[in-house]
Structure 1
Amino acid sequence: MRRPSRTEPGPGQESVWDYPRPPAVEPVHDRVVVRLGGVVIADTTEAVRVLETSHPPVYYLPMAGLDLRPADGSSMCEFKGRARYFDVLGGAERDVVAARAAWNYPKPEPGYEVLRDMVAIYPSAMDSCEVGGEVVQAQEGDFYGGWITSKVVGPFKGGAGTLGW
């Protein structure tokens, strides 16, 4: 499938087609809030986001304070290294489990060291994820775990038929 045309960003927006490859990591100055099982499981102003051509940003949050349980499996990113996965626990009694809903890079490749103690969360596995008070939309396909807000325009890689872009 041929990739579709880039959507021109409006005022205050950015196009994912202007993001670099290899990906860039940048701090997030907005408040990021994640809810699971009806409770807030993360609330931080210390997140970072990874920006890669054609992908919505992936937000990484400090692991400290999150209730995570190691999950089976791993994956490899040509830029960031080998990822490990976690179940995310939420709910008032920490009895709500989002299986294999988070990942991190315990030994990231050079240039991505800031991700060592950070974890990315699939927004589709949570009750909600917010950036600066805006509820995000999960990236279609969930392979990449991108967070879509009104500040980014696509088209976005990740859905059916887009892996060859």
Structure 2
Amino acid sequence: MPRPHADPVAPGQESVWDYPRPPRVEPVASRVSIVLGGQVIVDTDDVVRVLETSHPPVYYLPIGAFADGSLAPTTGSSVCEFKGAARYFDVAGGGLVRPRAGWGYPHPLPGYEVLADRVAVYAREMDRCTVDGETVTPQPGGFYGGWVTSAIVGPFKGVPGSMGW
């Protein structure tokens, strides 16, 4: 399937089609908050995002910024050709547990070392995830973990018919 046409970009917005492959990692001056079960499980301004062509940003937060007991290592793994082997976490808050709703790279490949000791979370599994107070929309599809804000335009990998992008 050919690459789709990028949506128009307004001032202050970024197109995911301008993001690189392999992905770029960058610290951002943003505050990220995640709520599960009515409990704030993380609220931090120590934020790193990963930008990859056709994907909304994935936000990685320090493990130490999460509330005590909100992250529990679980079984299973996956491999990213760029970042390395991922481990998964069950994410808990307010009496709820979301299995395998978080992931991280304990020993990332060269160029991605800043991701060590950080976790990304699937927004679709949480009550609410925000970036600078704006509630994010989860990246389409069941596999991807990007967070869509009003500053990001697509189309985004994960929509029907996007497997070949």
**TM-score after normalising by structure 2:** 0.95
2:16 maps to 1:16: yes
1:11-160 equivalence runs, <5 A: 11-66=11-66, 67-91=70-94, 95-160=95-160
Q: Which residue identity lines up with residue 77 of structure 1 in the other structure?
A: C
Please tell me the residue identity of whatever aligns with 2:89.
F
C-alpha deviation, 1:163, in angstroms: 1.5
CA displacement at 1:36 relative to structure 2: 0.2
AA aligned to 1:76 is V
Structure 1, residues 21-63: CA drift from partner, whole Å, max 9, x if none? 1100111211100000001000000011000001000000110
> SS at the partner of 2:59?
strand
1:68 aligned partner, one-letter code: L
**C-alpha distance in 1, partners of 2:49/2:43?**
15
Query: Structure 2 stretches of 5 or more lacking a match?
Result: none
Aligned to 2:4: 4
Measure how far apart 1:2 and its partner are.
3.0
1:69 shift after superposition? 1.0
Provide the C-alpha distance between the structure 2 equivalents of 1:70 and 1:63, rounded to a whole number of angstroms. 11
User: What is the percent sequence identity of the aligned residues?
Assistant: 64
Please state how far the C-alpha of 1:164 moved relative to its aligned partner. Answer: 0.6
The amino acid that maps onto 1:23 is P
Q: When the two structures are aligned, how many residues end up with a matched partner?
A: 162
Distance in 1 between residues matched to 2:142 and 2:43, nearest whole Å: 22
Q: What's the offset of the Cα at 1:159?
A: 2.4
Contact 2:43/2:65 (<8 A) preserved = no
Kept after mapping to 2: 8 A contact 1:21/1:53: yes
* CA displacement 1:79-112 (0-9 Å, x = unmatched): 0001010100101xxx210110000001100010
Give the CA deviation at 1:4: 1.9
- Provide the secondary structure at the position in 1 that maps to 2:26: strand
